[in-house]
Structure 1
């Protein structure tokens, strides 16, 4: 096992190792990943730390746990919807703005859901806050993705993933260099203050447009 960087939680280091392992093993979406016990032995770490790392990956939407079956790499591809959206985009050059606007509407709805059910998402929000503190998120997109997956609304999340994929192809990802607004957003979500959440989110979007 790699030495854990000072000041960081063990499980965050394991998260990075797991992502490297998935890439090294050539695992694809839908593939089953090793069990907690196998990962613990392979990475030479405790099972509780592996469990926390898997939870973080699930929070980011990278894996899903199926009761009685195991843990699998997540696949949000919906070929019919992708094909429909592709056709729509190719037929209208001005639709990029519509994609961005719809994506932002979905993000606001997901944020409201998390704030509305803050008690259910308290541990997840705490994990996101800790990952922010340890500079885990490299881009604003990664941060928002973690929050959106917390909403537990599969349909909204599935549509967002597809829209975000198209939007990412059209624009470069914004580095998450300033953690002030993301931290405020997590705090507002934990407090269940929906109006404050949307206000902070909109301020983040304005900053994202700056060069």
Structure 2
């Protein structure tokens, strides 16, 4: 409804009665859902004015959800494993979409200018992969990953250069091998 009505931060949302009618649910369900959204800080009620969408760009929703989701070691390992799969898939998409190597110039420039932040490197890779959903999933996993008590990957300029070279050669096997080497993953 927010998307369809093109609502944005600061906009007033429909009344409980209107939401109930549009969503074809009872008012008590709407009231309960609105209360939950308000507790999460996604909306705010102003007495006598209505309910408004809050600016949640810097919202700590990932941290809040992670306290419920990431309770056991298996779930934490799953986050790490899934992040690796998404990164490899971004690299494979980049291989498919790279035509003349120009797309890799941003990565090359970043590395040459001293870039050694792993999150920044893979943020560029996810952007270049040009798949909005995969990019969003990677960013969410990165946020979860940053909350975990694992050793964070350090920037590895030589590893990034090898990865870019394999991408330039359009060689999937070399690209995956360079990624595995960068992440210190064994082949299985």
Does TM, normalized by the shorter one, top 0.5?
yes
CA apart distance, 1:204: 0.6
CA contact (8 A) 1:118 1:191 kept: no
Match of residue 164, structure 2, among 172, 186, 199: 186
**Corresponding position of 2:78:** 98
Structure 2: gaps spanning 5 or more residues: 1-8, 10-56
Distance 1:194 1:76 in 2: 36
Distance 2:73 2:113 in 1: 40
* Structure 2 SS opposite 1:197: helix
Question: What CA deviation, in whole Å up to 9, does each residue of 1:136-193 have, x standing for no partner?
Answer: x2322221221121101111111111111111122454332x4222111111112211
TM-score (norm: length of structure 1): 0.53
* Structure 2 SS opposite 1:204: helix
Structure possessing the higher relative contact order (Cα contacts under 8 Å, 6 or more residues apart): 1
Distance 2:65 2:142 in 1: 15
CA contact (8 A) 1:76 1:161 kept: no
Distance 1:206 1:84 in 2: 29
Distance 2:78 2:139 in 1: 15
CA apart distance, 1:132: 0.5
**Corresponding position of 2:137:** 159
**Corresponding position of 1:126:** 105
CA contact (8 A) 1:82 1:162 kept: no
**Cα distance change of structure 1 residues 189 and 131 upon mapping to structure 2, 3 Å threshold:** same
Larger-Rg structure: 2
Taking only aligned residues, the RMSD between alpha carbons, in angstroms, comes to 2.7
TM-score (norm: length of structure 2): 0.59
Q: How does 1:15-94 map to 2 (within 5 A)?
A: 86-90=67-71, 92-94=72-74
CA contact (8 A) 1:115 1:191 kept: no
Distance 1:160 1:78 in 2: 17
CA contact (8 A) 2:63 2:144 kept: no
